[in-house]
Amino acid sequence: MATRKTPRRKPAPKPCPDCQTGQISESFQVGARRKRISDDRQEALCLTCLGSGEAPTD
């Protein structure tokens, strides 16, 4: 009797410790001469995971 091998699944990727979604919110500067920081926030790409939302494997 032959045994069947079951396909192995990859383990679920760990979420990024900085963002969990691939995007973070940052403050930004406004103005031509006197760059003042705005109270508003804008979405930016997470530089730790490069937008994938998964923890880097190093």
Longest dimension (CA), the chain: 80
Q: Is residue 48 part of a domain?
A: yes
Residue 53 has what pLDDT? 86
**How many CB atoms are closer than 10 A to CB 12?**
7
Q: Is residue 22 part of a domain?
A: yes
Residue 58 has what pLDDT? 65
Q: Is residue 3 part of a domain?
A: no
Indicate if the alpha-carbon torsion angle 15, 16, 18, 22 is positive or negative: negative
Tally of domains in the chain: 1
Q: Is residue 7 part of a domain?
A: no
Domain with 58, as residue range(s), is: 13-58
Q: Is residue 1 part of a domain?
A: no
Residue 9 has what pLDDT? 86
pLDDT at 1 > cutoff 70: no
Question: Which residues are CB-neighbours of 9 under 8 A, at least 6 positions away?
Answer: none
